[in-house]
Amino acid sequence: MDTKWATTELAWTAHPETGWEEVSGYDDAMNPIRTYQVCNVRELNQNNWLRSDFIPRKDVLRVYVEMKFTVRDCNSIPNIPGSCKETFNLFYYESDSDSATATSPFWMENPYVKVDTIAPDESFSMLESGRVNTKVRSFGPLSKAGFYLAFQDLGACMSLISVRVFYKKCSTTIANFAVFPETATGAEATSLVIAPGTCVPNALEVSVPLKLYCNGDGEWMVPVGACTCSAGFEPAMKETQCQACSPGTFKSKQGDSFCIPCPANSRASSGAASVCSCRNGYYRSDTDSPDSPCTTVPSQPRNVISSVNETSLVLEWS
């Protein structure tokens, strides 16, 4: 959710109705935006609530909220009581359905869960333009179908310019010839979520289990386990793919090695060869390795020399 892109009224729920007010405005680029404002600083005992629409969780355990807002400097407002504030509170409420009403849940902490008190880095006076503050907060673990955000004003003069809800994830990646899927971060900022891996096409496992850890910042940690390219395939594309050996080359074993030219007197007419076939008239013995050249039968003897004695016959030829 990002209210910055809203083209129609947000129509969030305000309690009481004399508190938060939805107002159309423009951002710095003169794009139309929907904002909420409150400025009941001349009245004591303010307790103004604003609740968002229902936000589906989508199996996410932890969400982040980015708030852009401006706050008026209390000292710049004349003739106000000492109850003027320059902060507001962020809450959330989990639910398995979009069931909130104008009176339920009760407008108070518990059932609402407080995330934090939000204070600006900069406030502005009457003679200055509003200085936009940006704050990000996160909360979890979440377990229900969705949640509402709630903003509590206790006497500030402020404008809530935009609210963006997002989550962090580790994007799909390939490491050690294994694919690891997109994975949302865990329930806590320090959580590590295990993502199981699968070998890329034409690769096989060499160590298991295949797993990669996704940390709370949406970054992958060191992978565990690995795959290597099958026989007939070699590493390619910065070790993210296993491509077939080209015709005339071969790779006899699984591993990280590359395809090499066929040995003498052999050939590989098609790709992905794990062994090169001997040419016509050339052979390998059963004990020869695929890396061995092919040889042919010997020629007929030439330059025969014989020697005979009483017990033996010796033949020599070239």
Q: Using one digit for the tens of pLDDT, what is the confidence trace for 81-123?
A: 778 999 999 999 999 999 999 999 999 999 999 999 999 999 8
Same domain, 159 and 57: yes
Question: 10 Å Cβ neighbour count for 142?
Answer: 19
Each residue's pLDDT tens digit, 6-55 = 888 999 999 999 999 999 887 777 788 899 999 999 889 999 999 999 99
| Residue 56 placed within a domain | yes
Which pLDDT score, from 0 to 100, does residue 301 have? 80
- Count of domains forming the chain: 2
| Residue 304 placed within a domain | no
| Residue 317 placed within a domain | no
Same domain, 69 and 211: no
Q: Which residues partner with 112 through β-bridges?
A: 109
Same domain, 19 and 69: yes
Same domain, 152 and 70: yes
Which pLDDT score, from 0 to 100, does residue 183 have? 95
| Residue 140 placed within a domain | yes
Which pLDDT score, from 0 to 100, does residue 59 have? 86
| Residue 251 placed within a domain | yes
Same domain, 199 and 154: no
Q: Residue 264 in contact with residue 294, Cβ under 8 Å?
A: yes
Which pLDDT score, from 0 to 100, does residue 309 have? 86
Last residue of a domain, one of 142, 166, 190: 166
| Residue 256 placed within a domain | yes
Look up the domain containing 211 and give its range. Answer: 169-278
Same domain, 206 and 157: no
Same domain, 151 and 113: yes
| Half-sphere exposure at residue 269, Cβ-oriented, CA atoms within 13 angstroms | 3
Mean of pLDDT values over 64-68: 97
- Look up the pTM and report it: 0.75
| Residue 149 placed within a domain | yes
Each residue's pLDDT tens digit, 277-318 = 999 999 999 999 999 999 998 878 888 888 888 888 888 887
Average pLDDT score, the chain:
93
Each residue's pLDDT tens digit, 213-259 = 999 999 999 889 999 999 999 999 998 999 999 999 999 999 999 99
Instruction: Extract the tokens encoding 65.
Output: 């909220």
Question: 10 Å Cβ neighbour count for 302?
Answer: 7
Closest listed residue to residue 167, CA positions, set 136, 208, 209: 136
Q: Residue 1 in contact with residue 55, Cβ under 8 Å?
A: yes
Same domain, 252 and 132: no
Same domain, 155 and 177: no
Same domain, 131 and 257: no
Burial 251-280 (b: 16+ CB within 10 A, else e): bbebeeeebeebbebbbbeebbbbbbebee
| Residue 291 placed within a domain | no
For residues 270 and 264, what is the distance between their CA atoms, to the nearest angstrom?
17
Last residue of a domain, one of 113, 146, 166: 166
CATH of the domain at 60: 2.60.120.260
3-state secondary structure of 2: strand
CATH of the domain at 219: 2.60.40.1770
Which pLDDT score, from 0 to 100, does residue 310 have? 81
Same domain, 61 and 94: yes
Same domain, 188 and 61: no
